[in-house]
Amino acid sequence: MNIQDVVVLSMIGALASACDPSPESTSPVASRRATLVEQVLQAEPSAGQAEAIGHIASELEPSAAAPGCFAVGGLVATTVAPHLHDPALLQQVGPMILVSLDPYHPFPGVWFSKGSILATITALNELGEASVNHHFALSRGTIRTQDDDIALTPTADPCVFDLDGVLNVVDGTESFAGVTGTGVAQGTSDVCTGRGQIAWQAELCP
């Protein structure tokens, strides 16, 4: 087990112990998402788990697809971390997984990729609307988004908010070099623990 796996396991353990919502406040989709985050981020996924990841991502309302673009999706577990250089900014970090939702995609070796996410919240208003930049660091390259629109909606649990977002992919590296596109994200964010679980999908255009 390498140091990355140790970090992933410790983060998932903290996530599972800190975020234990009551059955009344947990939807079936959120429960399946949480279960997959806990299981799959700890090891390479089985074919069934990878299919389940793709199914959850495919359930999201898709972004507008342009000709020649290809669908990917995944799951993310996040926790709040201080910004290294600017105390006025908030950041979220955590492990993530990405799967191809299109068997004919052009990204070499990327049917499944494990990595990490860095989300920088650049603006947040009193309505729970945020502007966020995301950096996905994956084993086959990176994907970067900019000025994503994220909205938080209260739930019956005063700590937990539903999260909906629109992603704006602006570039990538290695297997994702030159990609652009749009995407959507849905999940939950616990403001009491600073942790969240998010499913996302995007149309990447080479």
pLDDT tens-place string over residues 26-85 = 566 666 656 655 555 555 555 555 666 666 666 666 555 567 788 888 888 888 887 777
How many domains are there within the chain? 1
Using one digit for the tens of pLDDT, what is the confidence trace for 114-130? 889 999 988 888 887 99
Beta pairing partners, 71: 203
For residue 201, the surrounding DSSP H or E stretch is strand 195-205
Helix or strand (DSSP H, E) at 43: none
Least Cα distance to 140 among 98, 168, 183 occurs for: 98
Separation between Cα atoms, residue 145 and residue 115, nearest integer Å:
16
Q: Does the pTM exceed 0.85? A: no
Q: Which residue has the tokens 């700590």?
A: 159
Cα distance between residue 133 and residue 154, in whole Å:
23
Residue ranges making up the domain that contains 89: 3-205
